[in-house]
Amino acid sequence: MVSAETTKKVQELIKNKPIFIASKSYCPYCTKTKNLINSITKEAYIIELDETEDGSEIQAALAELTGQRTVPNVFIGGEHIGGNSDVQALNSQDALVPKIKAVL
């Protein structure tokens, strides 16, 4: 069970950070996503769940909120984008850059 405090913390991050990425430092899909987004902007707020004390609880809260348990878990402008394949698909449709620029 995820604490109300952690759920609130995650909701605040989603709401207040234009680009929020929940990641794990060793995950190759996370690295692809972070590299792509960093090539567009350095403004992304990234939490490495494996390096954060409450990382597993944050991941559980994200799973409850989005239905997605895997990382990366990406939000742009408060909208849940999804994981690496979703970010790459947006990029291949030339929709990622405008979406990011719209929230910065």
Token pair 């997605």 is found at 68
Confidence of residue 78 (pLDDT cuts 50, 70, 90): very high
The two structure tokens encoding residue 84:
């690496």
pLDDT attached to residue 1: 77
pLDDT attached to residue 52: 97
CA distance 104 to 102: 6
- CATH T-level topology, domain 4-103: Glutaredoxin (3.40.30)
pTM metric for this prediction: 0.97
Question: 11-56: per-residue pLDDT in tens?
Answer: 999 999 999 999 999 999 999 999 999 999 999 999 999 999 999 9
CA distance 13 to 15: 5
Question: 47-65: per-residue pLDDT in tens?
Answer: 999 999 999 999 999 999 9
Percent of the chain residues past pLDDT 70, beyond the cut: 100
Q: Let me know if 1 is exposed, middle or buried by CB neighbors in 10 A (0-12, 13-18, 19+).
A: exposed
What SS3 class is residue 95? coil
Domain extents for the chain?
4-103
